[in-house]
Amino acid sequence: MKILANDGISALGQELLEKAGYTVITEKVNQEDLAKAVNENNIEMVLVRSATTVRKEVIDACPNLKLIGRGGVGMDNIDVAYAREKGLTVINTPASSSQSVAELVMGNLFSISRFLNDSFKNMETGDFSVLKKNYAKGVELRGKTLTIIGFGRIGQSLASYALGAGMDVVAVDSFIKEPITIEVQIGTKQTVKVEITPIASLEEGIKVADYISIHVPKQADGSAVITTKEFEIMKKGVRLVNAARGGVINETDLLAAIESGKVAAAALDVFDNEPNPRTDLLNNAKIATTPHIGAATLEAQDRIGSELADLIIGQFGKLN
């Protein structure tokens, strides 16, 4: 049985699958050639990350396809309901990348609090004394309020890190009604448990926030979660991070909020027009940007590959 891992798979995941008798193909196929490649090579399973989409037209064009796997959390690049309706197995790995995304967000919280992204770009060519003055008004995380919009696995992992850094955490989630116990790891041998009860009101959550991190899927109707309306509710000088999906923050409204001073700084790992983000975002000194690398750690890739292999072998068995 052939598997096309079109956006790659870790060496560990590939090894586990091949030991179980599967043939794993990792040569990248262009999106427009995906259906043709699947059919010509008798591929029965396609594994993707965020770069490749598997929509209705691909599913219809590939009658021998049995499984679509997403390495990561969000599956908005797959027509999941339609695939399942057609009898395909659709899997993802929601737990594998939570820590990696949470750590990237924490890195961004520190970065946009101390101008690290901008100072790094200017140190080599700028005047040291001028730069020192420009970057001398940073702020600390300890004692500040972080509002986490979307309190699933990633949001909860982020809460653990933020609590450990001395932040107060407000969770906004309309689906979770019960208190969530967050384990804050102290070193490698101790944990402290903190209980957080999410609130349903986005307005209440963002108006008290010094920092906001968004962890929700792309909205079904394509609308943004954060627009001018929400920016108007926030504190002046708020800082935002989006490591979820492009489009959940209206990018034009974000730029206007930065220009007005309502938003002091932002960090974006995801964009509306990936892989070609708008240049006014990339060139803005108050926006830290990364190329959708939230889950891109060596540890997360091993966890994702291993979990995909386990799910496939568990569903279809060993072939040798």
- pLDDT attached to residue 133: 95
Cross-strand pairs, 226: 249
Q: What is the mean pLDDT of residues 46-50?
A: 94
Tell me the mean pLDDT in the region 192-202.
97
Query: What's the pLDDT score for residue 280?
Result: 97
pLDDT in tens, 84-94: 999 999 999 98
Q: Is residue 196 pLDDT above 90, yes or no?
A: yes
Rounded Cα distance, 306 and 143, in Å: 38
User: Which candidate in 70, 153, 239, 292 is catalytic?
Assistant: 292
Whether 292 is a known active-site residue: answer yes
Measured CA to CA, the distance from residue 268 to residue 197 in angstroms comes to 27
Which residues are CB-neighbours of 249 under 8 A, at least 6 positions away? 214, 224, 225, 226, 240, 242, 266, 268
Helices (H) and strands (E) in the chain, counts: 13, 13
List pLDDT tens digits, range 246-272: 999 999 999 999 999 999 999 999 999
Question: What's the predicted TM-score (pTM) here?
Answer: 0.89
The reply to whether 245 belongs to the active site is yes
Residue 78: predicted pLDDT: 96
Question: Which pLDDT does position 320 carry in this prediction?
Answer: 83
Q: Which helix (H) or strand (E) holds 185?
A: strand 180-186
Q: What is the pLDDT of residue 248?
A: 96
Tens-digit pLDDT profile for residues 62-75: 999 999 999 988 89
The catalytic position among 245, 251, 303, 307 is: 245
User: Distances from the Cα of 163 to the Cαs of 30, 120, 147, 170, 180, in angstroms?
Assistant: 43, 28, 12, 11, 14
What rounded mean pLDDT belongs to the chain?
96
Percent of the chain at pLDDT above 90? Answer: 93
Encoded tokens for 36: 């043709």
The type of residue at 150 is G
pLDDT at 74: 82
- Tell me the pLDDT tens digit for each residue of 117-170: 999 999 999 999 999 999 999 999 999 999 999 999 999 999 999 999 999 999
219 pLDDT band, cuts 50/70/90, is confident
- Which residue segments constitute the domains of the chain, with CATH numbers given? 2-94+298-316 (3.40.50.720), 98-289 (3.40.50.720)
